[in-house]
Amino acid sequence: MSTQTSPIIRLVSVGKRFGDFEALVDVDLEVRPGERIVICGPSGSGKSTLIRCINRMEKHTSGTIVVNGHELTDDLRDIDAVRREIGMVFQSFNLFPHMTVLRNLTIAQRLVRKTPKAEAEAVAMHFLERVRIPEQAAKYPAQLSGGQQQRVAIARALCMKPRIMLFDEPTSALDPEMISEVLEVMVDLAGDGMTMVCVTHEMGFARSVADRVIFMDRGRLVEQADPETFFTRPQNERTALFLRQILRH
Amino acid sequence: MKVEIALDALPRMLAGIGLTFQLLLLALGIGTALAVLLLLMRISGRWWLSLPAQAYCYVFRGTPILVQIFIIYYGLPQFEWLRESVLWVVLRDPFGCAVLALALNVGAYVTEILRGGVLSVERGLLEAGAALGMSSTHRFVYITAPLAVRIALPAYGNEIISLLKSTALASTITLADMTGIARTVVAETFAPYEVFISLALVYVSLAWLIQRSMHRVEARIGRYATRRAG
Ligand SMILES: Nc1ncnc2c1ncn2[C@@H]1O[C@H](COP(=O)(O)OP(=O)(O)O)[C@@H](O)[C@H]1O
Ligand SMILES: [Mg+2]
């Protein structure tokens, strides 16, 4: 199935230690362009660490990570190149609180891409429309609801025209009634063929959008399968136990 | 208490307000610039830059300003080479000595204030900047610095008031600032109580004025920089 297109992300026996603690153990993962991956697993199992290694927010301690042909080493040019391809959305939004929504969306374009102001603002407005809040452009993050802030954060990442989007529990900090507005935006994005790696426990999203669901436990990829198989016939008993626990809610 | 003595002393002391302000503003400007330099050294991540900065702050925060003023005014001129250097332009003049001592001192305190601001900027914001491809310089200039300044502002305001009060020490090295003039008036009138009370009132009004303007500044630039929980 993966033979015709080469992977855009490739991890080969990747390990990550924090001191003596092994947060990732021997992780192998390939993601093809346009593929949508959902990662789930108990808290502390290394999900964040895994996706943070992909854009070098964390430095892996063993193995190889190649993103779009650039191997992640200490070479800053490769790190820059990789970060240019990857957008990231955080659980806590991380919007710059002292900047308006519009400036949150234009600052990196202007500094990193050297995009002229008018063009950067046009791009920003385009993506604000895509996340359905163009009318909030002049406000400050603190004036928005959590769901709106997270949609701004998604738009901010999209403004850099990434080929890959990483999501780290984008809806976990949100009140229940705001979760769907964020998920809708993510579903849209999936429909456009964006390569996505999402850490989330939104199983409805995983079922309808994911090409593959991965279960992590104690730093290892324990199981991966298409959503249908994953949810109905999990092979590993820890996966089954985990699914019973989260689906009970 | 004789009110007329206090009232007579007031305009004379106010003649020194210009000198008090000069001391305050010069020391604040130079001290703050010094503090920015020391801060950059401290957070540079290079021990040979951060260690000297740390030592500097430790020494200047750990000794009385009055002692620092005396060292600079009475102590330094005994070095022949200093008297022959360009520094002598500053050091031979009590005003220069007072500004220098106050600035060096303020520099040490403001460094710590700014560092507190820098440390309290949420790490996630810097990660977001990095994920967007911003360089570490860009992150410092556009994220860390503006947020750190907002956080540090109230403490900086307190430091200005503290500096205002420290300028009174300049009177110990012959300067005729408000306190210097007050001491002359006391020597003439033998009415220390009245004169110093009205001097205290002047300082308190100035402190109030500084506090008010700082609140204004804070309200203006800190309007939307409320920190989110979580
Ligand atoms: N900077 C760090 N220093 C030390 N330990 C860390 C650090 N970041 C994460 N860890 C540890 O690594 C493990 C995996 O963390 P994380 O990837 O955040 O898990 P998850 O996202 O699945 O909840 C946890 O036990 C966590 O305590
Ligand atoms: Mg996590």
Question: Distance from the CA of A11 to the center of ligand 1, in angstroms?
Answer: 19
Q: Note whether A186 contacts B: Cβ–Cβ < 8 A.
A: no
Among chain B residues, the shortest Cα distance to A104 is held by B129
Confidence grade of residue B227 (pLDDT, cut at 50, 70, 90) = very low
Contact across the interface for A88 and B131, Cβ inside 8 Å: yes
What pLDDT is recorded for position B10?
Answer: 87
For the cut 90, the answer to whether the pLDDT of residue A78 exceeds it is no
Provide the β-strand partners of residue A221.
Answer: A216
Ligand 2 (ion): which residues have CB within 5 A? A 48
**Pairing verdict, β A21-31 and A86-89:** unpaired
What pLDDT is recorded for position A62?
Answer: 94
What pLDDT is recorded for position B223?
Answer: 62
DSSP structure string for B198-211: HHHHHHHHHHHHHH
Confidence grade of residue A2 (pLDDT, cut at 50, 70, 90) = very low
Confidence grade of residue A73 (pLDDT, cut at 50, 70, 90) = confident
Nearest CA to ligand 1 atom 26: A44
Contacts of B223 in chain A (CB under 8 A): 140
Positive/negative CA dihedral, B83, B86, B89, B94: negative
Q: Which of B125, B132, B149, B221 to mutate to test the interface with A (most CBs of A within 10 A)?
A: B132
Within 191-230 of B, beta carbons closer than 8 Å to A belong to: 223-228, 230
> What is the overall mean pLDDT for chain A?
93
Q: Note whether B120 contacts A: Cβ–Cβ < 8 A.
A: no
- A118-167: pLDDT as tens digits: 999 999 999 999 999 999 999 999 999 999 999 999 999 999 999 999 99
Contacts of A85 in chain B (CB under 8 A): none
Looking up tokens 């009590």 gives B94
Of the listed ranges A215-229, B154-168, B186-200, the one predicted with least confidence: B186-200
**Pairing verdict, β A62-67 and A36-40:** unpaired
- For the residues B40-50, what does the mean pLDDT come to? 93
- Whole-model pTM: value is 0.88
> Could you give the count of Cα atoms lying within 13 Å of A82 in the half-sphere of its Cβ?
26
Among chain A residues, the shortest Cα distance to B149 is held by A98
Confidence grade of residue A210 (pLDDT, cut at 50, 70, 90) = very high
For the cut 50, the answer to whether the pLDDT of residue B230 exceeds it is no
Q: A41 to each of A9, A93, A168, A203, A248, how far by Cα in Å? A: 21, 21, 12, 12, 15
Q: Which of A55, A56, A98, A161 to mutate to test the interface with B (most CBs of B within 10 A)?
A: A98
Confidence grade of residue B77 (pLDDT, cut at 50, 70, 90) = confident
Closest CA to B171 of B190, B187, B189, B157: B187
- For the residues A190-209, what does the mean pLDDT come to? 94
Contact across the interface for B124 and A92, Cβ inside 8 Å: yes
What pLDDT is recorded for position B225?
Answer: 52
> Which amino acids bring their CB within 6 angstroms of ligand 1?
A 18, 21, 23, 41, 43-49
More confidently predicted of B124 and B2: B124
This complex has an ipTM of 0.92
